């Protein structure tokens, strides 16, 4: 089994690979090192002919607190992650560099994971906030514990949604507007009713129930699974996902550029965030 700093990779039984987010101390906040490791783990599973389905789960009390506020990068300083898209910038200065970086490690990885050739399952518990959604939504299935909640709070920072903009496809038009514009969390029950998750199970049984669900997929021929998934994913493109994603990503970076120019380099509306944090503490 490959070894990583921020995740765990295992094959719990025949036909199934499982990847664990393993930054419990940060509630699985995602820095670039974690995201590149996750991408490498997915590649490992894709390259293993014995694996027919992949589970993404998380250690600790919550699935993911979102993007890490301080990106520490790779612990292996001598090793730089191999670029996975064609977006690049040598000096990493200015708006172009910020745009290219997020096009690579956020939007680029999410879109790549959505189109992985093997079926994927997100096994979710606790809180999934902002960037946490970007690990869940590219997966093909979502099994959630009854204590799971989901939230995109980016508009509190003045940003119009996370970088992978699948809100409408996950929740429908009305619920997507409520979810994004209010910034309030929704429960697993609300998410299931909207079609965002497949099943709700008791927290204590999440691991075994996810494995049981995975078995109902892993007993099929691998090539058939790949073709079936690809056929359904074609609906994303047919429904205009690619154009919506490009537009939303550009709006996201318009907001980033606006705040960097107006607030001495900050990505977000810092004054509003301070008021929001004070309100949360009161």
Rounded to 5 degrees, φ, ψ at 78 are -75, -15
* pLDDT for residue 73: 56
Residue with tokens 């993911």: 64
How far is 187 from 147, CA to CA, in rounded Å?
8
- Token pair for 253: 């970076």
pLDDT per residue as tens, the chain (282 positions): 788 999 999 999 999 999 999 999 999 999 999 999 999 999 999 999 999 999 999 999 999 999 987 775 544 444 567 888 888 666 656 788 889 889 999 999 999 999 999 999 999 999 999 999 999 999 999 999 999 999 999 998 889 999 999 999 999 999 999 999 999 999 999 999 999 999 999 999 999 999 999 999 999 999 999 999 999 999 988 999 999 999 999 999 999 888 877 766 666 666 666 666 666 555
Residues 6 or more apart whose CB falls under 8 angstroms from that of 268 comprise 157, 158, 159, 259
Our count of domains for the chain comes to 1
Residue 263 lies in a domain: yes
Residues 6 or more apart whose CB falls under 8 angstroms from that of 76 comprise 5
Full residue range of the structural domain in which residue 107 is found: 7-281
Identify whether the C-beta of residue 19 lies closer than 8 Å to the C-beta of residue 4.
Answer: no
Residue 29 lies in a domain: yes
Residue 183 lies in a domain: yes
Residue 37 lies in a domain: yes
How far is 219 from 216, CA to CA, in rounded Å?
6
Residue with tokens 């970076």: 253
Residue 51: which CATH number?
A: 3.90.226.10
**Integer angstrom CA distances of residue 112 from 38, 83, 108, 119, 170:** 12, 12, 6, 13, 18
Residue 275 lies in a domain: yes
* pLDDT for residue 237: 87
**CA–CA–CA angle 281, 171, 151 (5° rounding):** 15
Residue 200 lies in a domain: yes
* pLDDT for residue 92: 59
Residue 1 lies in a domain: no
* pLDDT for residue 260: 78
Residue 2 lies in a domain: no
């Amino acid at each position: 089994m490959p070894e990583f700093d921020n995740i765990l990779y295992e094959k719990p039984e025949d036909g199934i690979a499982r990847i664990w987010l393993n930054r419990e101390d940060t509630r699985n906040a995602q820095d670039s090192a974690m995201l590149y490791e996750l991408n490498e783990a997915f590649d490992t599973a894709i390259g293993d002919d014995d694996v027919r389905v992949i589970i993404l789960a998380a250690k600790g009390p919550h699935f993911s607190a979102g993007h890490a506020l301080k990106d520490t990068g790779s612990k292996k300083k001598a090793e730089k992650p191999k670029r996975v898209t064609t977006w690049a910038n040598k000096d990493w200065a200015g708006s172009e560099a910020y745009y290219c970086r997020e096009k690579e490690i956020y939007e680029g990885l999410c879109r790549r994971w959505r189109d992985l050739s093997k079926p994927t399952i997100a096994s979710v518990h606790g809180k999934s906030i902002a960037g946490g959604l970007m690990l869940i939504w590219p997966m093909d299935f979502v099994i959630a514990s009854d204590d799971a909640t989901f939230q995109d709070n980016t508009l509190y920072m003045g940003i119009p949604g996370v970088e992978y903009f699948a809100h409408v496809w996950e929740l429908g038009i009305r619920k997507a507007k409520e979810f994004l514009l209010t910034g309030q969390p929704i429960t697993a029950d609300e998410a299931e009713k909207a079609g965002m998750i497949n099943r709700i199970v008791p927290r204590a049984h999440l691991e075994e129930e996810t494995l049981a669900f995975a078995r109902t997929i892993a007993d099929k021929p691998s090539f058939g699974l790949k073709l079936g998934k690809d056929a359904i994913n074609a609906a994303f493109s047919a429904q205009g996902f690619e154009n919506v994603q490009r537009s939303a990503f550009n709006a996201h970076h318009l907001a980033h550029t606006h705040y960097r120019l107006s607030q001495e380099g900050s990505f977000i509306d810092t004054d509003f965030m301070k008021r929001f944090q004070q309100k949360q503490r009161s």
